[in-house]
Amino acid sequence: MQNDNPWGGSGGGSNNNSGGRRPTGSSTPPNAPDLDELLRQAQARFKNQFPNQGNVIILIALIVLGLWLASGIYRVDPGEYAVIQRFGKHERTQVTEGLGYAFPSPIEKTTIVNVQEFRKLEIGFRDSSTGRRSGAKQKVTEESLMLTSDANIVDLDLVVFWNISNAEDFIFNIKDVEATIKKVAESAIREVVGQTKLQPIITKGRDRVAQRAQAIMQQNLDDYKSGVSIRQVLIQDATVHPEVLPAFEDVVAAIQDAETYQNEATIYANDIIPKARGEAIQKLQQAEAYKASQITKSEGDAKRFTEVYQAYLKGKDVTKERIYIETMEKVLKNAKKTIIDQEQGSSGVVPYLPLKQLKSSKGE
């Protein structure tokens, strides 16, 4: 009768070499399984169920190979690039959308990157808004507090928007891109703030500060060949630190007073300067007119004198008498005069002339 005992023994639990010992000669406890015998039995059952085991193994191998080869199929959506590496080295980049194929790992590796997606980096705060709470944010003071050029402290929240401009550089040149962008952005904004006074940062000069910081960020990232493009830098909030707020308020008040005085001075200047210019033009015109009149008068006097002189040369006595008469006419024209009859004076009698009374009566 065939022994059906799976352990290969006689069933009586004897310790002879045929049943109670393993082929290695080491003793085993009673009823312990013989592994070699189990493997032989399993192999026999497999041969009975699959008589053509060679074909089955080939079929399984082909299925596994087909699945492995199929794993190399990938898809590129709009706005995405596929970067293929062969044994770690850049092989090619697919920039057109659609299906593509690369040898599966470990021969080739496919990395899909979105070059159109705008990614956001926050400095000085973290956006913790949820569906119900919009706009909630958590401050990160070790990032937001910065020193200005006039030794003030500003609390600044910055948002940086960036995207991938070169897929190969993005994958191969920088290990941790987001951490690198964050460090570059912090360094750039601190550099610009350190060169700028507080007042422009928190008022109308905020956009200029952001533009300067963006230019520095892009230059540094280009030097690293990071494959990253900084699309926009926004200063969402810039406030004075509470410790320097009183001093800043005094400065703001002084600036406002200065602007007020400057505006008043400008208004006064706009009023007085046109008047002064008008008066200057008027006086200049008067001077020009006086100059012209004097020149004309001088020319006329010279001409008249020349004519008189020419007449004098022709008739000296007549000219002398005419000049005498004209001169006396000018002298006596507005003078007070007393006329004496020549006939009375020629008789040898000196007439009595009460000059004082005459003057007083004429004055009345």
**Strand boundaries in the chain, DSSP class E:** 73-76, 80-86, 89-94, 98-101, 108-114, 119-123, 125-127, 137-139, 145-147, 153-164, 228-240
Q: For residue 9, is pLDDT > 50?
A: no
With a cut of 70, say whether residue 130 has pLDDT above it: no
The alpha carbon of residue 190 and the mean position of all alpha carbons in its chain are separated, in whole angstroms, by: 13
Give the global pTM. 0.53
- Homologous superfamily of domain range 119-127+137-240: Band 7 domain (3.30.479.30)
Across 149-163, average pLDDT: 91
Question: Packing angle between helix 177-194 and helix 206-224, nearest 10 degrees?
Answer: 140
Which pLDDT score, from 0 to 100, does residue 139 have? 86
Q: What is the pLDDT of residues 188-197, one digit of tens each?
A: 999 999 999 9
d(CA 85, CA 82): 10
Q: How confident is the model at residue 347 (pLDDT cuts 50, 70, 90)?
A: low
Q: What is the pLDDT, as a whole number, of residue 312? A: 75
Give mean pLDDT, residues 325-350. 71
> From CA 122, how far away is CA 34, in angstroms rounded?
67
**Model pLDDT, residue 146:** 92
Contact between residue 157 and residue 124 where contact means Cβ atoms under 8 Å apart: yes
Give every CB contact of residue 269 below 8 A, 6+ residues apart in sequence: none
Domain residue ranges in the chain: 37-68, 73-114, 119-127+137-240, 245-332
- Beta strand extents in 88-179 (DSSP E only): 89-94, 98-101, 108-114, 119-123, 125-127, 137-139, 145-147, 153-164
Tens of pLDDT, residues 200-254: 898 888 999 999 999 999 999 999 999 999 999 999 888 887 777 777 777 778 8
Instruction: Report, in angstroms and rounded to the nearest whole number, the Rg of the chain calculated over CA atoms.
Output: 59
Q: Which amino acid is at 215?
A: A
Predicted confidence band of residue 17 (pLDDT cuts 50, 70, 90):
very low
Which of 185, 205, 207 shows the shortest CA–CA distance to 197?
205
CA torsion angle 10 15 17 19 (round to 10): 30
In this prediction, residue 21 carries a pLDDT of 42
Under 8 Å CB-to-CB from 265, ≥6 apart: which residues?
A: none
* pLDDT grade for 2, boundaries at 50, 70 and 90: very low
Work out whether the CA dihedral 232, 237, 238, 243 comes out positive or negative: negative
Q: pLDDT value at position 355? A: 64
Is residue 92 predicted with pLDDT exceeding 50? yes
Residue 29 has pLDDT above 80, yes or no: no
Q: What is the pLDDT of residue 360?
A: 62
Question: pLDDT averaged over the chain?
Answer: 80
